[in-house]
Amino acid sequence: MGNRIALRATLNSVRVKICGITRVEDAQAALAYGADAIGLVFYDKSPRFVDIGTAQAIARVVGPFVSVVGLFVNASPAEVQVTVSRVGLDLLQFHGDEDELFCRQFDRPYIKAIRMLPGLDIEAEAKHFACARGLLFDSWSESKYGGTGETFDWHRLPDNIEKPLILAGGLTPDNIEKAVLETKPYAVDVSGGVEVAPGIKSAALIDRFIRRAKNAQNHTRSQERSL
């Protein structure tokens, strides 16, 4: 499985990002149950969109060792820059048709979403984003840039991507253990799978999702040690 396995084998635990946070109390729940990152959506066509003021309030409750990630879809450079400066984002996530030149101009590390269009040359697409800190693989939809609630065929994930692999798309507390065991990702990203309504998270679902993701990784390490 090449370089990706070598990278994953050094990790203590899969990272978990709870995306689409719209309320301070949901951010606090994510932090309480061990999330490594929270995601704020700055795409106004999303039901999980947050304005600058709401984002600032959420970011203020996040501790120094949890990343605040800003998600953008085909935003203007000015919009991204203003949001970065006013909210204090740690990491940028680009989910639209942005190219490498666009993504790297904001003096922040970034990850790029690759939506798994049938027939996509995934390795070629990944090479377009040499400066990305990681690549997020999500389900394809003709009408949405994310948040589809659908999984994709995890067997399509390439084995020789050298960057951290972030798995998204239709993840829930019910399938996250299987997802981690099968793909061994650097991180997983969930939004709708821990919600009771679009943008409204469930603390109980967040807790269950994170526990099962971490437990699956622990099971994987136990198996590796026994070989």
How far is Cα 74 from Cα 93, in angstroms, rounded to an integer? 11
Element at 68 (helix H, strand E): strand 67-72
Whether residue 19 lies in the annotated active site: yes
How far is Cα 194 from Cα 9, in angstroms, rounded to an integer? 28
Catalytic choice (26, 36, 138, 189) = 138
174-210 CB burial, b ≥16 within 10 A, e <16 = eebbebbeebbbbbbbbbbbbbeeebebbeebbbbbb
Catalytic choice (19, 36, 103, 189) = 19
Q: How many CB atoms lie within 10 A of CB 163?
A: 18
CA-to-CA dists, residue 188 to 56, 137, 212, 221, 225, angstroms: 24, 10, 12, 17, 23
Which DSSP category does 113 fall into?
A: E
Provide the residue type at 5 as one letter: I
Provide the residue type at 107 as one letter: D
How far is Cα 166 from Cα 218, in angstroms, rounded to an integer? 18
Whether residue 138 lies in the annotated active site: yes
Would you name the residues annotated as active-site residues?
A: 19, 138
